Every structure is written in structure tokens, then in C-alpha cells.
Chains A and B, each alone.
Chain A
Amino acid sequence: MNNSFLRLSIWAYLVIFFLYLLGPLVIMSVTAFNSSAFPRMTPWECLTFQWFGELFQDQRILNGIKNSLIIGAGTVVLSVAMGLAGALMLTQIWPKLRATYYTVIIAPILIPGVVLGISTLVFWDRINRMLGLGADSVLSNGIFLTVIGQSTFIASYCMLVLVARLQRYDIALTEAALDLGASHAQAFRKILLPFMRPAIASAAVLAFLASFENYNTTTFTFGEYPTLTIELAQKVRYGITPSISALAFIIVAMTVFFALLNEAKLKRQELVAAARKNATVEELAGKIKLPSFFSGNMAAVLVVVFAVATITLIGTATAYNPAQCIADVREQKQLEAQQRIEELRKQREEQRKQREEERKQRFEGVFEPGDLQPGATEEGAEPDSGTNNSGFGNVFDPNALGGDDDEGASDTETQPSNNGGFGGAFDPHSLQSDQ
């Protein structure tokens, strides 16, 4: 029992954890399809695709995507090159320098992005001035600065990825190539690079993603060329619309798709390898019976399901017209608003009546003999939280003329909510000294 309880709690924890991790993304994606002008999931109004249309017409977003792609390409080239050189250097450097060198090239990962952005900006600005170049030179160009600033730390990521594979490289391969008469460049291009290709590919993907989503460094260096992330940040900070959700949905969908595709490919390779191992010689020689792409490959099935869902979605989006629904919702909202106004009016009416009645009662009270006795108890004298919406406060309150009397005081006390603009300023009690 103890064991099953433990298992249950582990699963519960996992579910909560992944809800925290994935829930926000799901909710954000869903809001892209709600016609409400503010991104929200509840209340659900209408299924709509208008936010996607709005997104594709937004020039700033499109321009941001273009800049992001240019900067991303530059960053990938520069940081993979520097990362590879850094990794090669790490495997060969003089042992005494190794620790220092490692600290220096790993430090940019830990330095806050803001600091990297500032230092890049300050340093290249100074170089620019030293060379006597103007404000529009290459060195103060937003794209150049951003590529440089981002590469500073992205190269460290690349280096870590590359060095992991480089450690498994057998240096004897290069030596053999050199012995057979290859030049160093040839050995590098024909032996080392093919070996490193998978790692270079993943480093490049990593570098591109890191560059694409970077904000902290870019926000200081972008100059005239805002990237997508910068544009998004400005949009999010000054008023949010569901078209951002639409963009988020596209990015989430693409990410999930490529992750599944990659997984499916890996799984397939594994299955093929397993099949080769188990296959008899004749199977391999003659009728090779490779496992089909789908059998035992959950990820592949998911990829296809996903693709079909996307196509269906786009299909519906072009055919579907939510105008009717939106009109309905608007009508309903108007109805609701009217109802609310109606209710408010009624409430006012009732309040007015109530007040009148009270007033009548009070005037009646004035002529009660007890009224003229000086009560002088101040308990009820605090300027009442009563409903007196008239701007005159309690000026016309008969009590004002009748001195302090217990009954009147308790009367004011029972009045709900005084919203009069003058508060209790005109309350006569406020002028009396405390007794």
C-alpha cells in the first residue's frame, strides 16, 4: 500500500509539474481563437481566425521577423565558427592555461545578458570613435552590434555542444590522413568536419533558437533594426491583443511539430538498427523487411496526426466565417449592458423612494418631544456612512437643527453608504467640539 501511495504521489506531482510547464502555452494558444478583443479564455465568445489575419498584416511584426532571420543567420555562422575554434583550442591548449581559458569562454553564459549588451554597445561605440567613423558606420549598425553581442554568449553554448563530440574524436584519424599526404586543410575538411557534422547541426539549431528569442542583449544593441522579440516585447508592454496569441500559437505548433519529427526520425533509426541486428542473413541480403515508418513509433504517428490537424485547421479557417456568432455576441453584450443600466436605474429609483420615506419619518421625529432634549452623546455623530447622494451632505438633515438627539443619531447610523461629494464636511457635528 505504501508503495502504491508513493507511486500515486509521484504521478500526481508529475501531472502538476507539467501542467505548470505546458498549461500556460496551451491557454495562450487557445486565446488566439477567441474573438474577445482581450486575450482570454473565459468567457468564450466565438471561434475566430481573425487574429491570424491581423497578424499577417502587421508590418512591424513582419519586419521584425525579417531582421530576426538576418541576425539569426549571422549569429549562427559566427558563433558556430568561434565555438568550433574554441573547442579545438580547448583540447590542445597548454595544460597550465586550460582552467583559465575554460573559465573565460564559459563566463558569457553566466554574465547577465543585460551586461553583455551594454558592454558590446560601449566597446564598439568607443572603437567607432577611435577610428573616427560617423554614427552611421558599420560598427554602430544595429545588425552588426546584435550579431556580435549575441555571439559572445551563444558561441559558449556551441562550444559546449561541440566539445562533447570532439572528445570522442580519435586524433589518429587526422594523423593517418596527414601521413597519406593530405594537407591540414584537407584533413580538417574531409575527416574532422564530417565527424563533427551532427554536433555542428545541433549547435547551429541551438544558436539560431537562442538568437531568435534573445531579448536582454538585443534590447541594447538593436539600433534601427528591431528583431521580432523586441517588437513583441513592445507590443506586450503597451497593450496586449490576441494577435500575439496567434503568433504564439504558430510558434508553439512549429516547435511541437519539429520536435516530434526529430523524435520520429531518431526512433526510426533505432528501429532500423534493431531490425538489422535481429534479422537473419538472408533477410538482409534478399527481401529486407524494414519496419515501416509507423510501427512502434508513437512519435511518427503523432507527427502525421499533427499535420492532418493543421491542414484541417487551415481548411476550416478559410471556409469558416464567424461573423454571425460575433454579431450574436455583440447583441448579447448590448442586451446585458442594457439590462445592467435598467437595473441601476431601478436601484436608484428605489433608493430615492427610500430616502423620501426616511425624510418623512424624520420630519415626523422632529416634532417628538424627546428631540429637544440635549442628548450630547457623540457615538452616532461620526459622519455616517449613509446613502446620501445629494451634494448637500446632511445640511438639510433635520437633526442639524435639532441638536444632538439620540434618535436622530441612530437614524444617521443606519443609513447605508454616503457617497456625497462633500462627505461629512457639512455635518454639523464636525463643528462641535468633542464632549
Chain B
Amino acid sequence: MPRFLKEFFNRNGTGMGLAILGLVLFWTIGLIILPQLSMLDFSFRPNLPPPEIGGPKDVYTLENYKYLIYGPEGGSQDYNAVDLRVFFRTLLAAVCVTIFNLIICYPIAYYLGQSKGSHIRIFAIMLIIPYWINEILRAFALRIIFGETGVLNTLFMGLGIWDTPFDFIRNDIALYAGLGYAYILLMIFPIYNVIESLDGNQIEAARDLGAPWWRIHWRVVIPYAKPGISSGCTMVFMLSAGALAAPQILGGPSSLWFTQLIYQQFNDNNDWPQGAAYAIVLLVTCILFVLAMMRLFKVNMGDIGK
């Protein structure tokens, strides 16, 4: 037995140690690592009916990944233009949603983090309440607002700004508003946590030395808040790229989200390996993208999630 294991059991007692170790192993290996590996393995296999699984036809193949790039075999196009376009559009839209969220949340987080008083607690409650409401209901609320006879159209038509209803849903405005809305809290809290610990004297010193407000933010606050900003951005990006409910409810009829394609592969086409391959592509691309961004902005992995 390695020494640290022995120490571990000495410290916690055999029974407790076994319980802790068992739960941790079940969680990390049984729930996190093995299912992901299993999905990876599955994505390299052909789609077979259950009796043939494990049979001679059950060999490794790149078929599912080829499908994403080249489309069905013998198809009319050289590339699977539909799915690829959906894939890149999803990534691009997720980036846009992240930037939009960062822009609207940073001032709020700064304000909450730097001002004192009892009203801050009220603001915090007002921030958290929407987050406790069901994701589906939040999307539903936005659909009521953005609908053809919704509040916004009625309002603007009443004011005479436009005279035929504007289709927010077909133009994807509802979708972006919904995605931004869903993850506001995940952007505010990490930034708020960091800014709250920033010593107000630093800001005052910068001000005394004659820095205008934007330079104070650029040179003092933002560098200090970088870990918070990066973990907020990472979470919002990953979650909006992987969102399913908002695109299903708020997305236009002609615009798909990549997760919807995965969902279709699983539920409509009943092609699990294909769906697994798509899921792997999404996961790996998102992780690589986040790592690249972290390298670009010089952030450490350890800062995320704090």
C-alpha cells in the first residue's frame, strides 16, 4: 500500500476511509471518466441493431466523423454543408453571447463589488431569483415577450415605431436574448467575487494619480479581475454552446443549434453512435477553444471554478 493511502486510512479510520474512497472513486471513475471514455469508444462504432453488437460487424470505424465532414456517402455535395454550418454558427453565436454577457455584467459586478450598504443584499436576491426559476419557464417567458403578438411588438406598434409585427423568433433575436438571459448569474458571480476583494485604496490611488475612469478599469480593475472574468466567460461559453432548451423553444424554424442535431440523432434517427460522435466533436472543440483562449489571455487552469 502506498504511503499516502496508509496515512489516509490512519487519519480517517478504516471504515470512514473506505466510505470516502469508495464514494470518490465511484464519482470520478464511475460517473465522470468511464462514461466519457465509453462514449468516445461508442462514437467509433457503426450503428448496429442490438443483436449484432459485439458481433463481427462491430469494428472500429471513422464513419461517424466522416459523416459530419463529408455528409452521406454518395451525397450530392462534397461537404456536409448543413451540419458544418450549424456547427460553426453555434460556436460563433456562443462567442457572441459570451461577449454580450461580459459587457452587460461587468458594470453590475463592479458596482455590486465596490459599493457597500444593505441594498446590495436586495440586489443579490433579485439576481438569484431568476436563476431559481426553471430554465424552460425562463425561455417561455421570453417567448411571450418576443412573440408575434407579444409585449414588445404590441408596444412598438402602439408607439408607431413599426407597423407590421417584427418576427424576433425567425431573426434569432429571441434566441440570443434567451441565451444571454439564462447565464447572466454565472457571469456576474465570479467577477463579483474577485472585485469584492479588490482594495478600494488601489482605485483611489489610481484616481489621485490622475487616471481617468476608463484607465482605472483598464489598468487596475480588469487585470485584477481577470481570473473571475475568465471563469465567467468559460462557463457562459460552454453552457451556451451546449444549451438545448433555449434553442428548442426560442430558435427559429430554420435555424438549428448543434445540440439539436445531436438530439435528433439520438431521438429521431435512433443513431446513437452518430450522436455520440457529434457530442465528442462538440466537447473537444469547446475545450480546445477555451484552452486556446486561456493561453491567449494568459490565464491559469487553476483559476477557473474558484
B259, A114: Cβ atoms under 8 Å? yes
In the bound assembly, the distance between CA atoms of A302 and B207 in angstroms comes to 40
CB distance from B22 to the nearest CB of A (A): 8
Question: Which of B20, B283, B304 touches A111 (beta carbons < 8 Å)?
Answer: B283
User: Residues of A contacting B133 with CB < 8 Å?
Assistant: 25, 213, 248, 251-252, 255
Chain A proximity of B100: nearest CB distance (Å)? 12
A92 at the interface (CB under 8 A from B): yes
Q: Do residues B266 and A151 form an inter-chain contact, with CB atoms below 8 A?
A: no
With contacts A89-B20, A216-B242, A248-B133 known, is A123 near B27, CB below 8 A?
no
Complex formed: what's the CA distance from A237 to B302 in Å?
40
**A-facing residues in B11-35 (Cβ within 8 Å):** 11-17, 19-21, 23-24, 26-28, 31-35
Report which of A41, A122, A259 forms a contact with B38, defined as CB distance below 8 A. Answer: A122
| Chain A residues within 8 Å of B259, by CB | 112, 114, 216
Judging by beta carbons under 8 Å apart, are B151 and A41 in contact?
yes
Residues 112-170 of B at the A interface (beta carbon under 8 Å): 118, 121-123, 125-130, 132-145, 147, 149-151, 154
Digitize A298-334: 1 where CB-to-B-CB distance is under 8 Å, 0 elsewhere. Answer: 1000000000000000000000000000000000000
CB-CB under 8 A from B38, the residues of chain A are 119, 122-123, 126
Write the nearest CB–CB distance from A67 to chain B, whole angstroms. Answer: 14
Q: Across the interface, which residues of A come within 8 angstroms of B262, CB to CB? A: 114, 118
Chain A 226-251, CB-CB to B under 8 Å as 1, else 0, gives 00110011001100100011011001
Contact across chains for B145 and A24 when beta carbons are under 8 A apart: yes
Interface assignment of A82: CB less than 8 Å from any CB of chain B: yes
Q: Given known contacts A85-B23, A85-B27, is B238 in contact with A240 (CB within 8 Å)?
A: no
Q: Which of A123, A184, A247 is close to B13, meaning CB atoms less than 8 Å apart? A: A184
Instruction: Name the CB-closest residue of A to B150.
Output: A40
CB 8 Å contact bits of B269-306 with A (1 = contact, 0 = none): 00010011001001100100010000000000110110
Give 1 or 0 for each of A250-292: 1 = CB within 8 Å of chain B CB.
0110011001100100000000000000000000000000000
- For A184, what are the chain B residues with a Cβ–Cβ distance below 8 Å? 12-17
A82 touching B27, Cβ below 8 Å:
yes
Cα A188 to Cα B16 with chains together (Å): 8
Summed over the interface, the residue pairs from A and B with CB atoms below 8 Å come to a total of 250
Q: Determine if A131 is an interface residue (Cβ-Cβ < 8 Å).
A: no
- A219 proximal to B (CB < 8 A): yes
Structural contact, B20 and A85, CB atoms closer than 8 A = yes
Q: Are B27 and A118 in contact (CB under 8 A)?
A: no
The answer to whether the Cβ of A337 comes within 8 Å of any Cβ in the partner chain is: no
Do residues A160 and B305 form an inter-chain contact, with CB atoms below 8 A? yes
- By a CB distance below 8 angstroms, the chain A residues around B263 are 114, 219
Q: Is B221 part of the binding interface, using a Cβ–Cβ cutoff of 8 Å? A: no
Q: Which of A9-17, A194-202, A381-389, A392-400 contacts B (4 or more CB under 8 A)?
A: A9-17
Residue of chain A at shortest CB distance from B12: A184
User: What 0/1 readout, one digit per residue, does chain B (214-238) give for beta carbons within 8 Å of chain A?
Assistant: 0000000000000000000011001
Chain B residues near A22 (CB, 8 Å)?
126, 129-130
Task: State whether A255 and B129 are in contact (beta carbons under 8 Å apart), knowing that A112-B239, A112-B242, A112-B283 are contacts in the complex.
Answer: yes
Contact across chains for A248 and B129 when beta carbons are under 8 A apart: no
A94 contacts chain B at the CB level, 8 A cutoff: yes
User: Closest CB of chain A to B159's CB: distance in Å?
Assistant: 13
Given A25-B133, A118-B275, A42 contacting B286 (CB threshold 8 A): no
Q: CB of B244 within 8 A of chain A?
A: yes
* CB <8 Å contact, B135 and A40: no
Q: Which residues of B contact A41 (CB under 8 A)?
A: 144, 151, 154
B35 adjacent to A120 (CB under 8 Å): yes
Q: Does A215 contact B (CB under 8 A)?
A: yes
Q: Please indicate the chain B residues that have their CB under 8 angstroms from the CB of A114 in the complex.
A: 242, 244, 259, 262-263, 279, 282
Q: Which residue from A104, A213, A263 sits with its C-beta under 8 Å from B33?
A: A104
Q: Within 8 Å CB of A185, what residues of B? A: 13, 15-16
The count of chain A contact residues (Cβ–Cβ below 8 Å) is 89
Residue A107 is within 8 A (CB to CB) of chain B in the complex? yes
User: Does A259 contact B125, Cβ atoms closer than 8 Å?
Assistant: yes
Within 8 A of B (CB), among A89-111: 89, 92-94, 99, 101-111
B120 to chain A, nearest CB (A): 11
Chain A: CB-nearest residue to B301: A103
Which residues from B are CB-within-8-Å of A5?
A: none
> A17 near B108 (CB under 8 angstroms)?
yes
Tell me the complex Cα distance, A112–B140, Å. Answer: 21
- Pair A122/B125 contact, Cβ less than 8 Å: no
| Interface status of B248 (Cβ within 8 A of chain A) | yes
Best-buried of A114, A155, A160, A263 by chain B (most CB within 10 Å): A114
Q: A86-B24, A112-B238 are in contact. Are A219 and B244 (CB under 8 A)?
A: yes
Contact assessment for B136 and A232 in the assembled complex, using a CB-CB cutoff below 8 Å: yes
Considering the chains assembled together, what is the distance between the CA atoms of A185 and B39 in angstroms?
A: 38
Q: Closest B residue to A114 by CB, please name it.
A: B259
Nearest A residue to B180 via CB reads A20
Closest to B107 in A: A13
List the A residue with the shortest CB-CB distance to B132.
A255
Report if A215-B143 is in contact (Cβ < 8 Å); known contacts: A109-B305, A122-B272.
Answer: no
A38 lies within 8 A of chain B by Cβ: yes
Check if B266 sits within 8 Å of A17, measured CB to CB: no
Residue B67 lies at the interface, judged by CB distance under 8 Å to chain A: no
Is A105 a contact partner of B28 (Cβ separation < 8 A)? Answer: yes
Chain A residue nearest in CB terms to B239: A112
A residues in contact with B121, CB < 8 Å: 263
**Hey, which chain A residues are within 8 Å of B305, CB to CB?**
106, 109-110, 160
Is the C-beta of B243 less than 8 angstroms from some C-beta in chain A? Answer: yes
User: 8 interchain pairs (CB within 8 A)?
Assistant: A14-B123, A18-B126, A27-B141, A99-B302, A101-B28, A106-B305, A110-B238, A184-B15
Beyond contacts A38-B149, A184-B17, A259-B125: 12 other A-B pairs, Cβ-Cβ < 8 A, are A22-B126, A24-B145, A40-B149, A110-B290, A112-B279, A122-B35, A122-B276, A152-B27, A185-B13, A228-B134, A245-B144, A252-B129
